[in-house]
Amino acid sequence: MSSKISEDLRIKGTETTIVEFWRWAYSDLLSNTNRGILAEFLVGHALGLTTEPRMVWDKADFVYNGNSIEVKSSAYIQSWEQKQPSKIVFSISKAKAWDYSTGEMSSEAQRNSNCYVFCVFTDKDKSNHDILDVNRWDFYVLTTSFLNQNFLEQKSISLSTIQKFCSPVTYSNLKKEVDSLLS
């Protein structure tokens, strides 16, 4: 695993730093990809798991106290023009898992975590949104065993369905909720 890089790292042969690249590449935090990475960061930060760089393509987003955690993100507003707010739906598809530490793919498709954290950026007004305000996010936590018992073959789950089984928690209560469900 690599270590975090310094913000003053220069791109050799140029007059710029890595921060300029980050600003150029990742400033649109409403885009699905960047919002998803931000949601992973928020969950990881709440759980104290952001001291190492993000692991891309591992079987789960985090390992926390021996449990694998999958983070999913959605939002009502998007980067592109919309006629109406997006419907909040998350993928819960089974998948073969790539194991970063062994370099091998699993032979069986399954849900590869012990827990899912569904992150919803709740703003609906694009002209006044603040994706960097954790108070504008809701977090829903469900165990994978619950999903497997109730939605074994389902590939996606709507927010309205999730809300039938759990309530949102705030960022400040996220760690406590994850700890409670995984204990």
Q: Are strands 67-75 and 115-121 parallel, antiparallel or unpaired?
A: parallel
Q: How many domains does the chain fold into?
A: 1
> pLDDT tens digits, residue range 27-48?
999 999 999 999 999 999 999 9
Residue 35 lies in a domain: yes
> pLDDT tens digits, residue range 91-136?
999 999 887 778 889 889 999 999 999 999 999 999 999 999 999 9
Residues of the domain holding 92: 29-182
Residue 82 lies in a domain: yes
| pLDDT confidence of residue 176 | 98
Residue 16 lies in a domain: no
| pLDDT confidence of residue 13 | 95
Residue 169 lies in a domain: yes
Instruction: Find tokens 């393509």 and name the residue.
Output: 57
- Answer whether residue 1 shows pLDDT above 60: no
CB burial of residue 56 (10 Å; 0-12, 13-18, 19+): exposed
Residue 64 lies in a domain: yes
Residue 163 lies in a domain: yes
Interatomic CA distance for residues 62 and 102, integer angstroms: 16
Residue 151 lies in a domain: yes
| pLDDT confidence of residue 119 | 98
The pTM of the full predicted model, rounded to 2 decimals, is: 0.93
| pLDDT confidence of residue 77 | 97
Residue 1 lies in a domain: no
Rounded percentage of the chain residues whose pLDDT exceeds 70: 99
